[in-house]
Amino acid sequence: MIKNSIFGIVQNDLTALEAELLSVIHSPVHLITEISEHLVQAGGKRLRPALYFLCARCGVDHNSPVSIQPLATAIELIHMATLVHDDVIDNSPTRRGIPTANSKWGNQMSVLIGDFLFAKAFSIVASSHVSERVMQVLTEIICSMSEGEIIQNKDTFNPNQSEMEYLDRIAKKTADFIAASCELGALTAKLSDQDVQALREYGYSIGMAFQITDDILDITASTEQLGKPAGNDLLQGIVTLPVLYALQHSPDAAELTRIVSTRGMGQDMLQRGLEIIHATDAVDYSYRLVNEYLNRARQVLPEGMPSEIKEAFLAVAEFVEMRNF
Amino acid sequence: MIKNSIFGIVQNDLTALEAELLSVIHSPVHLITEISEHLVQAGGKRLRPALYFLCARCGVDHNSPVSIQPLATAIELIHMATLVHDDVIDNSPTRRGIPTANSKWGNQMSVLIGDFLFAKAFSIVASSHVSERVMQVLTEIICSMSEGEIIQNKDTFNPNQSEMEYLDRIAKKTADFIAASCELGALTAKLSDQDVQALREYGYSIGMAFQITDDILDITASTEQLGKPAGNDLLQGIVTLPVLYALQHSPDAAELTRIVSTRGMGQDMLQRGLEIIHATDAVDYSYRLVNEYLNRARQVLPEGMPSEIKEAFLAVAEFVEMRNF
């Protein structure tokens, strides 16, 4: 089953999720349905709900009739809401090769649709008899993500950042949410506190590895592979790990500092920036960090999980390691 | 006490609210604290929390030690979040005579701060042991508001709207939230279902009257009185009740139709539009509707409330009737 798909064991859950997403975003206001359907159908890896489902299915009775769907739907809606707002903020024309909401319906409508999706997510959770702890995990994660985005936005075009600041920022922006998705699944499965904590750490490490890989791919992959322009982070002034490494180790660090600080750089300058980064071992160094996080993810997995679920968790780590898009 | 302030009876609650707002928005990220403090200090009428407090104080034991603050804080944070996003959408330079967040920190940061305030609001509610019903009222209200804003945005510069569509839009945009604030207070006070419903209707009617007054003032008040440019709705293409009335009753309806449909109109055209509206009895008609809603608000108030609370409810209605800012 895992050979067919890394998320094989929760494939039915993920199929049901797609139907649920299309159902909950339906609004009497036709335009809301239209934009939201575009966003659902634009897809995505569904990594957060997939990990949530995997953790939720760790419970002893993983065929329990209790619905584990609502939280997955809320998790993906919150993720979609942050992406819509991110695309407004970054003025992105495409995501995953598909036109963004802001490029099709404008910034104003995209801000409002993001708010609508946030509200929908909380409305679903409010009707789902979840515990106070689940509610807290979910709300704190949105606080954390907006803090992460605000820090990132504040620090654009600023070459004077430490690796620690970078790691803190991507934790808030990405890893904390993936950690929370695992935690929410583990809480739904009523696992022991120790296992909840272990799966949270697994999610955190996967999330850190995932975001660093994203930041590497921005520098190494082609526009076709990414579904968005390559080198986009540099253009947007977002200073990622390979850039930080090159700023500290390149003989051309002074030139790179000027490039990183330049708003509205042209293609020539962007290419020169990428050249300076590639001339160092910034990419190798960043992949080493990815592998450290992935090893930690593999190590923290709780003992005694059903073997097909453990295999799926390991397959997710492998997927993050190998992905080139 | 009411002579000093229409909200006299809940003045202590409102004072505590200001301190609470400043406390909860504090973030380790200094910029978040700075922008949020600006938003809190820019003030506002605090109408929603004031009505919530009044309803919450309707309970038999209105000196109960149970904290009624968290929900008030959440209500005002949600209101602030929607205002920040509205100002981005309308590209507003000032609100209440004070520079908006978007004019001081840019659109990107304002979108993120709005998300942060939404998240903070839900985070507070999640930790406050509220009932599932309270949670549902609160989440549905954000869905409703974003729907209202999306409808308004979709229908800008469109003179072909009915009065019913206008009323439906302002209900979603404004009145439903004020109704929900009253409902939440009444639920907190553990009033009977009948009284909860009555106070909800009171809030709805106050909200409709409040928004129609707002829309009238945009046409009759001066820029100084408003703290934002007069005629702003017309400039933004937002078609309000007096405009709709004039479109249906003015001998110059054809000219007004062209003006209402014009994006980026100049001051001359705006003044001509206002002249056409003022030549009809659009403002009188709109005030008649305001008074119908206010009368309904006064009539639905539950029997047997403490007299000082009933007086405060009546004073709020009078405030909406008389306000010219």
Contacts of A142 in chain B (CB under 8 A): 115, 118-119, 122-123
Q: What tens digit of pLDDT does each residue of B41-70 get?
A: 887 889 999 999 999 988 755 555 568 999
Q: What pLDDT shows up at residue B325?
A: 58
Clarify whether residues A94 and A213 are in a common domain. no
Predicted local distance difference test score (pLDDT) of residue B66: 61
Q: Give me the mean pLDDT over the A114-118 stretch.
A: 93
Both A154 and A270 in a single domain?
yes
Residues 6 or more apart in contact with residue A13 via CB below 8 angstroms = A49, A53, A57, A68, A69, A72
The rounded distance, in Å, linking the Cα atoms of B7 and A82 is 38
Would you say residue A52 lies in a domain? Answer: no
pLDDT band at A221 (very low <50, low <70, confident <90, very high): confident
- B320 SS3 class: helix
Per-residue pLDDT reduced to its tens digit, A254-275: 999 999 999 989 999 999 999 9
pLDDT tens digits, residue range B81-139? 999 998 888 888 888 888 888 888 988 899 999 999 998 998 898 888 888 889 889 98
Give the residue from B53, B73, B58, B47 showing the smallest Cα distance to B316: B47
Residue A174 lies in a domain: yes
Residues 6 or more apart from A188 whose CB is under 8 A from it? A52, A55, A56, A59, A68, A71, A134
Judge: A150–B29 Cβ closer than 8 Å, yes or no. yes
Task: Place A185 in a pLDDT band, splitting at 50, 70 and 90.
Answer: very high
* Phi, psi (rounded to 5 degrees) for A99: -55, 140
> Within A91-131, where are the H helices?
101-126
Reported as a pLDDT band with limits 50, 70 and 90, residue B324 is: low
Helix axes A253-260, A241-249, angle to 10 degrees: 140
CB B181 within 8 A of CB B49: yes
pLDDT band at B1 (very low <50, low <70, confident <90, very high): very low
| CB-CB contact of B9 with B312 (8 Å) | yes
- Cα–Cα distance measured from residue B275 to residue A284, given in angstroms and rounded to the nearest whole number: 70
Shared-domain flag, residues B166 and B86: no
Give the span between the Cα atoms of A218 and A53, in whole angstroms.
Answer: 29
Within a domain: A61: no
Domain membership of residue B308 (yes or no) is no
Mean pLDDT to the nearest integer, A16-21 = 94
CA A193 to each of CA A140, A163, A197, A239, A271: distance values in angstroms, whole numbers, following the listed order: 19, 32, 6, 37, 49
Q: Using CB atoms, which residue from A112, A126, A138 is nearest to B132?
A: A126
Q: B324: distance to nearest CA of chain A, Å?
A: 29
pLDDT given at position B130: 85
Average pLDDT over residues B147-167: 92
The answer to whether residue B316 is domain-embedded is: no
Which residues make beta-bridge pairs with A95? A98
Instruction: Mark which of A77, A99, A127 sits at the end of a domain.
Output: A127
Burial class (CB in 10 A: 0-12, 13-18, 19+), B307: exposed
User: Cα–Cα distance between A110 and A242 in angstroms, integer?
Assistant: 31
- How many whole angstroms separate alpha carbon B111 and alpha carbon B101? 10
Indicate whether A7 belongs to any domain: no
Q: What is the pLDDT of residues A49-88, one digit of tens each?
A: 999 999 998 875 555 556 899 999 999 999 999 999 988 8
With contacts defined as CB-CB under 8 Å, which chain A residues touch B132? 126-127, 129
Interface touch A132/B129, C-beta < 8 Å = yes
Please give the pLDDT value at position B64: 57
Cβ atoms of A157 and B108 within 8 Å: the answer is: no
Q: What are phi and psi of A95, to 5 degrees?
A: -145, 130
User: A-B interface: how many C-beta pairs under 8 angstroms?
Assistant: 134
Q: pLDDT tens across B277-288, in order?
A: 999 999 999 999
Using alpha carbons, list the distances in angstroms from residue A324 to A219, B193, B247: 11, 58, 58
Rounded distance between C-alpha atoms, residue A277 and residue A273, angstroms: 6
Count of domains forming chain A: 2
Give the tens place of pLDDT for each residue, A272-315.
999 999 999 999 999 999 999 999 999 999 988 888 889 999 99
CB contact under 8 A, A113 and B150: yes
- What is residue B3's predicted lDDT score, i.e. its pLDDT? 39
Q: Are residues B125 and B140 in the same domain?
A: no
When the pLDDT of each residue in chain A is averaged and rounded to a whole number, the result is: 90
Cα–Cα distance, B205 to B234 (Å, whole number): 25
The residues near B235 (Cβ < 8 Å, ≥ 6 apart) are B229, B265, B270
Instruction: Please list, in sequence order, all residues whose beta carbon lies within 8 angstroms of the beta carbon of residue A167, skipping any fewer than 6 positions away.
Output: A208
Residues of A in contact with B136 (CB under 8 A): 123, 126-127
**ipTM score assigned to the predicted complex:** 0.86
Q: What's the pLDDT at B60?
A: 56
SS3 call for B201? helix
- In angstroms, what separates the C-alpha of B306 from chain A's closest C-alpha? 33
Nearest to A108 among B28, B136, B153 (CB): B153
Residues of B with CB under 8 A from a CB of A: 27-29, 31-32, 82, 85, 88-89, 107-109, 111-116, 118-120, 122-123, 125-127, 129, 132, 135-136, 138-140, 142-143, 145-147, 149-151, 153-154
Judge if A176 and A308 occupy the same domain: yes
Contact check, Cβ <8 Å, B122/A122: yes
* Domain match, B136 and B57 both: no
Closest-approach residue (CA) in chain B for A139: B123
Q: Do A140 and A238 meet the contact criterion of CB atoms below 8 Å apart?
A: no
The residue of chain B nearest to residue A90, with distances taken between CA atoms, is B108
- DSSP string spanning B156-199? TT-----HHHHHHHHIIIIIHHHHHHHHHHHHHTT--HHHHHHH
- Asked if residue B155 and residue B75 are part of one domain, the reply reads no
Together in a domain, A80 and A197: no
Of B32, B143, B149, the CB nearest to A120: B143
A269 assigned to some structural domain: yes
d(CA B55, CA B302): 11
Say which residues have a Cβ less than 8 Å from residue A169's Cβ, sequence separation at least 6.
A148, A151, A152, A155
Burial class (CB in 10 A: 0-12, 13-18, 19+), B268: exposed
Q: Using N-to-C axis directions, what is the helix angle for A132-154 and B101-126, rounded to 10°? A: 160
Q: Is residue B306 part of a domain?
A: no
d(CA A82, CA A121): 12
Are A150 and A246 contained in the same domain? yes
Do B224 and B288 share a domain, yes or no? yes
Q: Which of A117-121, A259-263, B96-100, B201-205 has the lowest mean pLDDT?
A: B96-100
Domain co-membership, B73 together with B217 = no
Tens digit of each residue's pLDDT (9 = 90 or more) over B24-49? 999 888 999 999 999 998 878 899 99
* Domain end point (choices A111, A127, A143): A127
Tokens of A325: 């898009």
What domain range is B63 assigned to? 1-129
> Do residue A149 and residue A273 come from a single domain?
yes
Contact: A115, B116; criterion CB under 8 Å: no
The pair phi, psi for residue B94, each rounded to 5°, is -140, 160
Please tell me the pTM assigned to this model. Answer: 0.89
User: Within 13 Å, how many C-alpha atoms sit on residue B55's CB side?
Assistant: 33
Q: List residues of chain A with CB under 8 Å from any CB of chain B.
A: 27-29, 31-32, 82, 85, 88-89, 107-109, 111-116, 118-120, 122-123, 125-127, 129, 132, 135-136, 138-140, 142-143, 145-147, 149-151, 153-154
What is the CATH classification number for the domain harbouring B33?
A: 1.10.600.10
